[in-house]
Amino acid sequence: MDLPSPDRAAYLLDFDGTLVDIAPAPDLVMVDAGLPESLRRLRVLCGDAVAIVTGRPIAQVDALLPDAVYAIAGEHGTALRPAPDAEIVVSALPALPASWLERAAHLAAAHPGAALEHKRHGFVLHYRAVPDAGAPLRIGVERLLAGVSGYELMAAKMAWEVRPAGIDKGSAVRALMCRPPFLGRVPIYVGDDVTDEDGMAAARALGGVGLRVDEAFGSPQGVRGWLSKISQKGVM
């Protein structure tokens, strides 16, 4: 791949399905032992311009990758911590109606094996453990959102996510690239899912690169190998 060298680049990385393998449930994900050190070495090479851009809450990334990256954009950009010691900036969005969570919980319960993940401004229904539930869960969520503005339904890997409209990983990329140490660098966004398309598009619009895991690396293991190589040798 013909990519900018680390001294010119900013690395904007999705988490699930990109840095780590997809797990049956979000809390069962496993972090490869060498990944945090690769990210720390990469920070040295690129002047700290390494960020995680994820649908997960920031606290979860902190627990899984302690002190490994400089910035974290969580919950698809609705929460942003632009530096390790900075306060988390939360988008001014309405709280999710409690009745929606109740109905989502009923939907999950009706399909044993499905799981509800609550986020600050939305929720996710995971059906990896019960693939046949994908279609009825989608129909149930579409009925929930019928006639409602301000929210959208997004397809993810074996999951359906409800999130505020207009807030996505592209907005997170743009917000990060306006700030040091990302400012003035060439963004390299790496992601694996439909929700990463906005991040890839934003990186390309800013003169950078958007890479899909399956096309560029084959798997999260390939991404980890790439990061390990460039963090040790400083070459692409």
* Residues acting as catalytic residues: 14
Burial class (CB in 10 A: 0-12, 13-18, 19+), 203: buried
> What is the C-alpha to C-alpha distance for residues 138 and 14, in angstroms, rounded to an integer?
24
Question: Is there a contact between 56 and 16 (Cβ–Cβ < 8 Å)?
Answer: yes
Half-sphere exposure of 20 (CA within 13 A, CB side): 23
Amino acid at 107: L
SS3 169: helix
178 Cβ contact partners less than 8 Å away, ≥ 6 residues apart: none
Amino acid at 208: G
Amino acid at 188: I
Give the H or E element holding residue 58: helix 58-64
Output the CA–CA distances (angstroms, integers) from residue 11 to 1, 21, 48, 66, 99, in the order listed: 15, 19, 9, 17, 39
